[in-house]
């Protein structure tokens, strides 16, 4: 039915490994916790910063980088005493966080995901891609995750907000999707593309602005297998 399938990533194809978030909080509790916050308080701060930055990115259409988000967490842990950040080596911090992601990697949202991707890939002339907002985990790390999960073999290209500077529902991000599909040599209209995601604002409204079809899954109890119906 469609010539190209575009996928959101988080809560569409994959979801966080709960152990990653727990271990991440433990690291910040032991290394950056000069205000002596509890582990529960630090986990709450991570959720607050994540939600706040995601909302800002959706509203403004730009991208707050992972390093900035981690510094926000450290500042919040220490009651915004900014002197706590003077000795932080931010590149090493992200390197450590990437290693933690790879140690406790995200998992498939659904056990049907790979089967659905396989059957879509078998369709004649059907190509696939990723269009994902990022937060604490950069695109460079997610590419490694998707390679380990075997998902990257199905994707013709991957677009991440931290690499492009755009966040969904910014129409420029979806225009980049259209331009990338065209660069594949695929002659198709926006109406020939289906964007699959879980977020009514970032995914559905964003795609609709450029005349791209959309399908919401998971957040509304519709499974990814709906794509095969």
Count of beta carbons in the 10 Å neighbourhood of residue 9: 25
What is the model's pLDDT at position 124? 73
Q: Where does the pLDDT of residue 123 fall: very low under 50, low under 70, confident under 90, or very high at 90 and above?
A: confident
What is the model's pLDDT at position 74? 97
Q: Tokens standing for 141?
A: 């790390």
Characterize the bridge pairing of strands 193-197 and 213-216: parallel
Mean of all residue pLDDT scores within the chain: 96
CA 177 – CA 190 distance, rounded (Å) = 10
Pair 106, 16: CB distance under 8 Å: yes
3-state secondary structure labels for all residues of the chain? CCCEEEECCECCCEECCHHHHHHHHHHHHHHCCCCCCCHHHHHHHHHHHHHHHHHHHHHHCCCCCHHHHHHHHHHHHCCCCHHHHCCCCHHHHHHHHHHHHHHCCCEECCCCHHHHHHHHHCCCCCEEEEEECCCCCCHHHHHHHHHHHCCHHHCCEEEEHHHHCCCCCCHHHHHHHHHHHHHCCCCCCHHHEEEEECCHHHHHHHHHCCCCEEEECCCCCCCHHHHHC
Could you give phi then psi for residue 195, rounded to 5 degrees? Answer: -100, 125
pLDDT at 125 over 80: no
**Which pTM was predicted?**
0.95
pLDDT tens digits, 37-73: 999 999 999 999 999 999 999 999 999 999 999 999 9
Pair 90, 70: CB distance under 8 Å: yes
Mean pLDDT on 176-180: 97
Beta bridge partners of residue 108, listed in sequence order: 14
CA 175 – CA 210 distance, rounded (Å) = 7
What is the model's pLDDT at position 187? 84
Q: Where does the pLDDT of residue 228 fall: very low under 50, low under 70, confident under 90, or very high at 90 and above?
A: very high
Pair 132, 8: CB distance under 8 Å: yes
């Amino acid at each position: 039915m469609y010539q190209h399938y575009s996928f959101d990533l988080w809560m569409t194809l994959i979801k966080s490994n709960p152990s990653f978030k727990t271990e991440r909080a433990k690291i910040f509790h032991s290394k950056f916790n000069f205000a002596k916050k509890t582990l529960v308080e630090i986990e709450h701060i991570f959720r607050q910063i994540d939600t706040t930055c995601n909302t800002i990115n959706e509203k403004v259409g730009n991208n707050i980088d992972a390093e900035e988000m981690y510094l926000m967490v450290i500042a919040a842990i220490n009651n915004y005493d900014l002197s706590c950040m003077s000795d932080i080596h931010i590149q090493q911090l992200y390197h450590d966080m990437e290693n933690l992601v790879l140690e406790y990697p995200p998992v498939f949202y659904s056990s049907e995901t790979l089967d659905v991707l396989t059957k879509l890939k078998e369709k004649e002339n059907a190509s696939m891609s990723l269009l994902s907002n990022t937060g604490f985990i950069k695109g460079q790390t997610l590419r490694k995750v998707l390679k380990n999960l075997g998902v990257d073999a199905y994707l013709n290209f991957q677009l991440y907000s931290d690499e492009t500077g755009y966040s969904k529902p910014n129409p420029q991000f979806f225009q980049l999707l259209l331009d990338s599909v065209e660069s594949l040599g695929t002659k198709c209209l926006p109406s020939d593309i289906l964007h699959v995601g879980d977020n009514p604002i970032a995914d559905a409204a964003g795609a609709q602005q450029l005349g791209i079809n959309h399908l919401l899954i998971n957040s509304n109890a519709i499974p990814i297998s709906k794509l095969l119906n």
